[in-house]
Structure 1
């Protein structure tokens, strides 16, 4: 069974998720945006072994601790889609722009694409390509657990920004309506910021989806 803990990090209160297989105790960090010591302490507290560092997209608040964690643990970085490579190359500029400590550029060990699978112990995550907030954004879904990690694609009552370079509102809406919502109303999603929700609740009440602005 897949279990998880949401650990907010960075001044942007980004929802890093520690997820793990409760049979093998293999763990992954999804979007470790910063505070590596805090994240490693959580892994130790649960008695887990980190085996994956997973990224949904290339924005600083979602990837800021990834390279440090790779250096300190030897665990490879997987994701996002290669279309976000330019964001990872721009990490020094991103950190300067937002007043963060200098964050060097890095390259993941493996990119992700639509249809890929990530194996975590006896649990599996399906990869869905959901561009719009960034051109290389991916979403990670455990169909068995009914959980989705959606990064900054969708929020409770809102959607991701599209005013950053290569963001696109119409593309984001298509990603949500054609890729995410068909996964099922009962899917609980953990967004990159703020509280979780269900896809069904957002389909029925999210103003960006019920009255989309194209």
Structure 2
């Protein structure tokens, strides 16, 4: 498995291209905008896209996912259906923030415990509500690797002051669902640099073992 990060939109959201080195087939995770940049990056990589994966329904993560899916004839998988609220208001949010954004209907909503395939790879789907109610993360156990969207960042956690956010749900998702995946798991967050769960357990001001009194 390989991954490349392509930041998009004025919010510098980490769109990830992941692919199977055996088949050179891949997926874009959270193609929120800047579609010419994303298509050029995929072309340069030599990867054949087979689907789009979405972690959650916020505009910077999926505002142009539906447009890209139509242009390239790709299915969209994710997020959890609890984020239908956010996806339904993408056009409204786009106008508010001056960004291209369009609502869409995923080909497949994802639930906790589901799997998604990319080439010969199989990734586990883990529902991690809090930042949004339908947020999911994608975990590839053989690679000790995860794409976590806006659940967790290097040194921080996702905001929970948006509609339908829940701070305790987010803390529970991080400690109860991410930490058990292992300290040596490297993750790509929705914004900013990569880190490991072990590093965040040591140093994150919000969810380190020390911060949580553990």
1:172 is matched with 170
Moved more, 118-127 or 186-195: 118-127
The within-5 A match list for 1:3-82 is: 3-82=2-81
Structure 1 alignment gaps of length 5 or more? none
Cα distance, 1:37 vs. partner? 1.3
1:114 counterpart = 2:89: no
- Count how many residue pairs are aligned between Structure 1 and Structure 2: 211
How far apart, in 2, do the equivalents of 1:35 and 1:156 lie? 24
1:208 is matched with 206
2:135 is matched with 137
How far apart, in 1, do the equivalents of 2:42 and 2:98 lie? 28
How far apart, in 2, do the equivalents of 1:93 and 1:208 lie? 32
How far apart, in 2, do the equivalents of 1:209 and 1:170 lie? 11
Cα distance, 1:212 vs. partner? 4.2
How far apart, in 1, do the equivalents of 2:192 and 2:47 lie? 26
How far apart, in 1, do the equivalents of 2:58 and 2:93 lie? 8
How far apart, in 1, do the equivalents of 2:90 and 2:141 lie? 32
How far apart, in 2, do the equivalents of 1:107 and 1:60 lie? 14
1:98 is matched with 97
Cα distance, 1:123 vs. partner? 1.1
Return structure 1 stretches of 4+ with deviation > 6 angstroms.
none
SS of 1:163 mapped into structure 2: coil
SS of 2:110 mapped into structure 1: coil
How far apart, in 2, do the equivalents of 1:97 and 1:168 lie? 23
Structure 2 alignment gaps of length 5 or more? none
Cα distance, 1:120 vs. partner? 1.0
How far apart, in 1, do the equivalents of 2:109 and 2:164 lie? 19
How far apart, in 1, do the equivalents of 2:50 and 2:64 lie? 15
SS of 1:208 mapped into structure 2: coil
Q: Over aligned residues, Cα RMSD in angstroms? A: 1.1
How far apart, in 1, do the equivalents of 2:35 and 2:155 lie? 30
Cα distance, 1:97 vs. partner? 2.1
Query: Structure 1 length normalisation: TM-score?
Result: 0.96
| Partners of 2:6 and 2:15 within 8 A in 1 | yes
| Partners of 2:139 and 2:146 within 8 A in 1 | yes
Encode CA deviations 1:109-163: one digit per residue, 9 max, x unaligned. 1001111111111111100000000000000001111110000000000000000
SS of 1:67 mapped into structure 2: helix
1:158 counterpart = 2:156: yes
Query: Structure 2 length normalisation: TM-score?
Result: 0.96
